[in-house]
Amino acid sequence: MIGEYLYMPTMIGMVYVLRWNAPVLNESALVSISDLGAAGKTWSLSSLSYSDGKIYARTMKELLCIGRPD
């Protein structure tokens, strides 16, 4: 969780972002669905990490940094 957002990665490399404080868990609570890479190459059991305004995701092949460039 970062701020009002809950980030939920899956083993196949999809990341779902929800507003954790939404009054009802429906489609308006869903902020985004992101794909971390090609099917079959982004398998991961890792959670996301957050530091200094950036989100880090580790797949079986690489470490990804999600954020604005400095």
Chain center to CA of 69: 18
Q: What is the pLDDT of residues 56-65, one digit of tens each?
A: 988 888 888 8
Q: What is the pLDDT of residues 15-43, one digit of tens each?
A: 899 999 999 989 999 999 988 877 767 77
pLDDT score for 37 = 79
Q: What is the pLDDT of residues 41-54, one digit of tens each?
A: 777 778 899 998 89
Concatenating the DSSP letter of every residue in 1-47 gives -BTTEEEEE-TTSEEEEEETT-SS-STTTEEEEEE-SSTTT----PP
DSSP state of 52: T
The full set of domain ranges for the chain reads: 5-66
3-state secondary structure of 62: coil
Q: Which residue carries 């959670």 as its tokens?
A: 47
pLDDT of 68 strictly over 80: no
